């Protein structure tokens, strides 16, 4: 029997964040739905993330399930495997770095009455200036090439209909996965809504996004453009 809500959280070397992230996700979900699950994908962490998750697992109230990649496969691969493991009628995902207040999910759930996905955009973004500039350029270029009208493609605060996201033919294994997901949903004529969400400073760990990722991301954007040019639905199953 499907659950009302699944929360997917990829984690890579987040030993300083993961315990708080799981507990706050559980508390937020418990205040919103009767039943839920938290699916954490430990993507080959080399620090103490696995040990922290193992210590949390016996706490039944957290509703925690852990998927483990023996080696790091990438952000997109972690999300894809996490989505496919969910059982929720609605599937939400966020990062494990505690840069969002998950209580704001309360304002997203009502949007799903008439939408297939609710996409967050960061308000007062707490990232280095250069990263914000590069992200803005990429967001604008992606929107232009792919025909999107999305304010913040890479915001990791997104809510989907469960059957839809589980069937989406996600191929990206890196951070381009956010753009791929939105582009595929748009290509299928899905109903997308957007809502602002407050962005918080990272207090532990560090982002794994690096300047060297920029050329690879631009190549991925060209690949996505060609993919949609060949098949307007992006391949796979076009509907739920």
The pLDDT score that the predictor gives to residue 64 is 98
The pLDDT score that the predictor gives to residue 161 is 98
Q: What is the pLDDT of residues 169-182, one digit of tens each?
A: 999 999 899 999 99
pTM for the model: 0.89
**Secondary structure (H, E, C), the chain:** CCEEEEEEEEECCCCCCHHHHHHHHHHHHHCCCCCEEEEEEEECCCCCHHHHHHHHCCCHHHCEEEEEECCCCCHHHHHHHHHHHCCEEEEEEECCCCCCCHHHHHHCHHHHHCCCEEEEEEECCCCCHHHHHHHHHHHHHHHHHHCCCCCCCCCCEEEEEHHHHHHCCCCCCCCCHHHHHHHHHHHCCCCEEEEEEECCCCCCCCCCCCCCHHHHHHHHHHHHHHHHHHCCCCCCCCCC
Assign 210 a pLDDT band (cuts: 50, 70, 90).
low
* 211 has pLDDT over 60: no
Does 235 reside within a domain? no
Does 154 reside within a domain? yes
CATH number at residue 187: 3.90.550.10
Does 240 reside within a domain? no
Does 222 reside within a domain? yes
Domain tally, the chain:
1
* 135 has pLDDT over 90: no
Does 237 reside within a domain? no
Does 238 reside within a domain? no
């Amino acid at each position: 029997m499907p659950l009302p809500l699944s929360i997917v959280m990829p984690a890579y070397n987040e030993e300083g964040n993961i315990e708080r992230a799981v507990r706050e996700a559980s508390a937020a979900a418990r205040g919103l739905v009767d039943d839920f699950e938290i699916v954490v994908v430990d993507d080959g962490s080399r620090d103490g993330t696995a040990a922290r998750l193992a210590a949390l697992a016996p706490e039944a109230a957290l509703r925690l399930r852990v998927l483990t990649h023996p080696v790091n496969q990438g952000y997109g691969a972690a999300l894809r495997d996490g989505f496919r493991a969910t059982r929720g009628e609605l599937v939400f995902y966020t990062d494990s770095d505690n840069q969002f207040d998950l209580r704001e999910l309360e304002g997203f759930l009502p949007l799903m009455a008439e939408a297939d996905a609710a996409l967050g955009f960061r308000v007062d973004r707490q990232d280095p200036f250069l990263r914000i500039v590069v992200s803005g350029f990429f967001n604008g270029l992606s929107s232009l090439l792919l025909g999107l009208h999305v304010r913040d493609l890479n915001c990791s605060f997104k809510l989907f209909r469960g059957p839809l996201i589980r069937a989406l033919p996600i191929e990206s294994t890196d951070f381009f996965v956010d753009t791929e997901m939105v582009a595929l949903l748009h290509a299928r004529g899905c109903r997308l809504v957007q809502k602002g969400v407050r962005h918080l400073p990272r207090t532990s760990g560090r982002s794994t996004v690096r300047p060297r990722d920029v050329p690879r991301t631009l190549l991925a954007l060209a690949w996505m453009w060609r993919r949609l040019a060949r098949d307007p639905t992006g391949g796979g199953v076009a509907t739920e």
